């Protein structure tokens, strides 16, 4: 269940935050945080810090998408994928130094909360561009702090401050992710396989998942990070038709189709409907350049 944010979470995570305009360190103020150059950022009434550097490059999740994801999570349909994520994250944490956990594109904060439950000595930072998601993420876990920021414009996170980073079906700016990780830190990335939601994609007009996804992942991350683990979690769940609509609405399809359109299209599906969840979980470490040869 969502919980109130712990006031100590900001204290614990403040050294890991950076001003999105100048990159300077932030200190706490009565209203939120500020840097020495005078850039100030308020803490929203719902508890999250707005550290956006400007207008986000990508559209964040809408309130309807976030609400749909919360219903799917509450119904337990993603329990298996959450367990797979926690297993990958805890294994990665065992190879990383102690320190905070970062979730990029954190959404409701459910993924970060599950990982923090398994890592009781750690605090976590949930970064997302969307206010509807941040309102939920601010209450997701007492050891988590929700922060508004755009990964494509630069994470409002200090370099070398994160022990573990998570990217679950979210943007993957390789250079930024490598920058914020500590030496020997780890990144866990979750991406969809071709079979993911295959029973829903054509009936509900969802975008197909290209066969080049693994290659695209390597292209985004490999210059900056090195893959160290690779696994696929796949299961078939039987969802009530209304929950299948929520599952479709909670992803990118929610930017293009209203729930009423999806529900009308889903009327032709069986109830319940078998839905494949197929996700690849990869773990990465920062790529270090070999030392330069001695001058001759």
**pLDDT tens digit string along 35-64?**
999 999 999 999 999 998 765 556 689 999
Looking at residue 182, its pLDDT comes to 94
pLDDT for residue 251 is more than 60 = yes
What is the DSSP pairing of strand 101-104 with strand 49-50?
Answer: unpaired
17: which DSSP letter?
B
pLDDT single digits (tens) 10-19:
899 999 999 9
* HEC secondary structure over 186-230: EEEEEEECCCCCHHHHCCCCCCCCCCCHHHHHHHHHCCCEEEEEE
Cα–Cα dist 89/70, whole Å: 22
Q: How far is Cα of residue 249 from the mean position of the Cα atoms in its chain? A: 17
Q: Which domains does the chain have, with CATH numbers?
A: 7-286 (3.40.50.150)
**Strands 124-128 and 101-104: what pairing?**
parallel
Taking the model in full, what pTM does it have? Answer: 0.91
Q: How many CB atoms lie within 10 A of CB 7?
A: 9
Residue 6 reports pLDDT greater than 80:
no
Q: What is the pLDDT of residue 5?
A: 45
- Residue 3's pLDDT is 44
pLDDT of residue 4: 42
Say how many C-beta atoms besides its own lie within 10 A of residue 283's C-beta: 22
Q: Kindly report whether the peptide bond that precedes residue 90 is cis, defined as omega within 30 degrees of 0.
A: no
Q: How far is CA 128 from the centre of its chain?
A: 8
> Is pLDDT at 186 greater than 60 in this prediction?
yes
pLDDT at residue 52, as a whole number: 82
Q: 118, exposed or middle or buried, with CB in 10 Å at 0-12, 13-18, 19+?
A: middle
**Residue 206: pLDDT above 60?**
yes
Angle of CA points 136, 138, 139, to nearest 5° = 70
| 30: helix, strand or coil | coil
So what's the pLDDT on residue 222? 85
Residues in contact with 45: Cβ distance below 8 Å, sequence separation at least 6, in sequence order: none
- 105 touches 151 (CB < 8 A): yes
Per-residue model confidence (pLDDT) at position 218: 80
- Rg for the chain, CA atoms, rounded: 19
Predicted confidence at residue 212, as pLDDT, reads: 53
Residue 176, pLDDT score: 94
Residue 211 has a pLDDT of: 57
Assess whether pLDDT exceeds 80 at residue 1: no
Confidence at residue 18, expressed as pLDDT on a 0 to 100 scale: 96
Cβ(275)–Cβ(237) under 8 Å? yes
- Distance between CA 65 and CA 140 in Å, rounded? 17
Q: Where are the beta strands (DSSP E) in the chain?
A: 26-28, 32-35, 40-42, 49-50, 101-104, 124-128, 144-148, 162-168, 181-192, 225-239, 273-286
* Distance of alpha carbon 144 from alpha carbon 115, whole angstroms: 11
Taking all residues of the chain, what is their mean pLDDT, rounded to a whole number? Answer: 90
pLDDT exceeds 70 at position 25: yes
Per-residue pLDDT of 101-149, as tens digits, reads: 999 999 999 999 999 999 999 999 999 999 999 999 999 999 999 999 9
Q: pLDDT exceeding 70 applies to what percent of the chain?
A: 91
pLDDT grade, residue 223 (50/70/90)? confident
pLDDT at residue 288 greater than cutoff 90: no
Residue among 115, 113, 102 nearest 187 (CA): 102
Q: Between 6 and 104, where is the model more confident?
A: 104
């Amino acid at each position: 269940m969502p919980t109130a944010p712990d006031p100590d979470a900001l204290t614990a995570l403040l050294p890991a935050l950076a001003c999105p305009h100048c990159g300077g360190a932030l200190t706490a103020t009565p209203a939120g945080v500020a840097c020495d150059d005078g850039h100030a950022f308020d803490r929203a009434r719902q508890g999250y810090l707005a550290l956006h550097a400007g207008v986000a490059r990508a559209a964040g999740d809408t309130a309807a998408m976030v609400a749909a994801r919360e219903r799917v999570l509450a119904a337990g349909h993603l329990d298996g994928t959450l367990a797979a994520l926690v297993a990958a994250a805890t294994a990665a944490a065992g190879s990383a130094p102690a320190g905070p956990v970062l979730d990029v594109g954190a959404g409701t904060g459910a993924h970060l909360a599950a990982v923090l439950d398994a890592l009781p000595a750690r605090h976590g930072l949930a970064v997302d561009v969307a206010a509807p998601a941040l309102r939920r993420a601010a209450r997701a876990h007492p050891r988590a702090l929700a922060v508004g920021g755009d990964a494509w414009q630069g994470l409002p996170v200090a370099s070398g401050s994160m022990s573990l980073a998570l990217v679950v079906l979210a943007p993957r700016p390789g250079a930024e992710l490598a920058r914020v990780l500590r030496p020997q830190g780890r990144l866990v990335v979750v991406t969809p396989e071709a079979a993911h939601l295959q029973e829903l994609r054509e009936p509900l007009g969802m975008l197909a998942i290209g066969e080049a996804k693994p290659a695209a992942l390597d292209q985004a991350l490999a210059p900056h990070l090195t893959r160290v683990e690779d696994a696929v979690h796949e299961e078939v769940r039987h969802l009530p038709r209304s929950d299948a609509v929520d599952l479709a609405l909670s992803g990118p399809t929610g930017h293009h189709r209203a729930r009423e359109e999806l529900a009308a299209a889903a009327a032709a599906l069986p109830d319940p409907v078998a839905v494949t969840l197929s996700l690849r979980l990869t773990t990465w470490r920062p790529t270090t350049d070999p030392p330069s040869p001695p001058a001759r």
